Amino acid sequence: MRKKGIKKAVSVFLTACLFSTLLGGCGGSGTAGDGKYKFGKIQIPGKDGALCGAPIYVAYEKGYFEEEGFDVELISADFETRKIGLNNGTIPIVNGDFQFFPSIEEGINVQVVDGFHNGCIKFVVRPDSDISKAEDLKGKKIGVDEIGGTPHQVASVWLENAGISALQEDKEVTFLPYSDGNLELEALYNGDIDVAAMWDQLGSVSAKEGKTKVIFDLSTDKDFAGKYCCFLFASNKVLEEEPEKVAALLRAYRKAQDFISKNPKETVDLIVEGKYSQISDKELAGELITSYEYPSTEDREADKHSIKGDVEYFSNALNQIGYLKTSAADFTEKYFTDVDVSK
C-alpha cells in the first residue's frame, strides 16, 4: 500500500485547524440558558486566512450562526487540537479536504456531514517552462507544502492517473516540502523545483502577475472538476448526543454558501475588509470565490451535487494509491452521515 508519510502529514493538517478551539474561551455573553443562544458558546476554527473558508466568515459576519442559536468565537487551531476537540466533542465541526480521510481511518471520531466547496489547489510552473501536463512531470521536482498534504495527494493522484509513480522510492518524481508558500514560489523562480503544487491564493496571484503559468487547476481538471474537494466533518460525540446542534450548524453554513453563490462581490468585500484573508486583489478573489462553486439553496434542492458520491470518489482515489486501506464503499458507508437539517 502506498501510504508512506501520510500519517504525519494528515496529523499536521488537522492540527492546524483545531488547536485554538480548546484554548480560548468563546466570545460574546450569551449562554444556552439566556434565550438568545439556544446552543450557547462554541468555538469554530476560522482564522487560517484561507479565502476558501468564506462560508465561516460569512456565517459569522451575517449573523447566520447567531440565527441558529450559537454564540461563536472564531479561533486558530492546529491539527492536534482539532483532533482532540473533535474526539471529545469540544469542537463540534470543522472544515477540511479529503486529506482528512486517512486520519479518520486512523481514529479521529468524526463523520463527513456535508460538502464545503470545489477545488482550491493549483500547480504552477515558470512562464518559460515546457511542462504542460502530468506526463511531463516524470523526472521532475515538485514543491508541496508537506509530504502527505493535500497538494501532495492531489499531485499523486494526477501522476498515477498518467501512469507515473508518485512514490518517492520509485524515483520517477521528487517531492520537496516547503512550509511557507512564498518560499516554495522562490524555489520555483530559482529553478530549485520544476513545479509548485499550491493552495490558493498564492499560485493564482503569481500567475496573474505573470510570474508563473497554471498547468493544473483542481476546480477544472477532468479528474476533479464538479466535485467537492473539501467537506464539513462533525464530531461523532456531538452527533450522537446533540444531533440537533450539528443540524443547526449545517443550516448556518448552508445559508452562508447560498449567500456566497448569489453575492460573490459582496462576499469578497466582506472577506477583504474584515481581513479574513491576505488577498487584496478583489477582482481575482471574486474569480476564485466563483470557481469554488459554493452550492446555492436551489443547487441543493435540485440534487446538483452528490456529497456521498464525492466522498466515495476521493476515498477510492486515495485507496488506489495506497493512502487509504479501507475500500471506498466501506469508507463511505462507515464515515458518511446524511444529516437531517430540517427543523
Task: Write b or e for each residue in 118-145: b if 16 or more Cβ atoms lie within 10 A of its Cβ, otherwise e.
Answer: bbbbbbbbbeebebeebebbeebbbbbb
Distance from chain centroid for Cα 11 = 14
Q: Is residue 308 part of a domain?
A: yes
Same-domain pairing of 103 and 11: yes
Q: Are residues 10 and 114 in the same domain?
A: yes
Residue 18's pLDDT is 39
Measured distance CA(254)–CA(234) in Å, rounded: 15
Residues 143, 160 within the same domain: yes
Query: Total structural domains in the chain?
Result: 2
Three-state DSSP state, 143: strand
pLDDT above 70 for 3: no
Contact yes or no for 303/264 (Cβ under 8 A): no
Rounded percentage of the chain residues whose pLDDT exceeds 90: 63
pLDDT tens, 64-84?
999 999 999 998 888 888 888
What does the CA dihedral 122, 126, 131, 136 come to, rounded to 10 degrees?
-70
Q: Which domain holds residue 314?
A: 6-119+227-335
Q: Which residues are registered as beta bridge partners of 79?
A: 15
- In the block, cell 453575492 appears at 263
Q: Model's pTM, two decimal places?
A: 0.83
The Cα–Cα gap between 72 and 304 comes to 30
Q: Could you say which of 166, 199, 217 is where a domain stops?
A: 217
How much is the CA Rg of the chain, to the nearest whole Å? 19
Among 217, 251, 266, which residue terminates a domain?
217
What proportion of the chain, given as a percentage, has pLDDT over 70? 90
Q: Are residues 250 and 314 in the same domain?
A: yes
**Same domain membership, residue 272 and residue 262:** yes
Domain boundary among 166, 196, 217: 217
Kindly state whether residue 1 falls inside one of the protein's structural domains. no
List, for residues 218-250, the tens digit of each pLDDT value: 989 988 888 888 999 999 999 999 999 999 999
**Residue 331 buriedness (CB in 10 A; 0-12 / 13-18 / 19+):** buried
280-337 confidence digits (pLDDT tens): 899 999 999 999 999 999 989 888 788 999 999 999 989 988 889 999 999 999 999 9
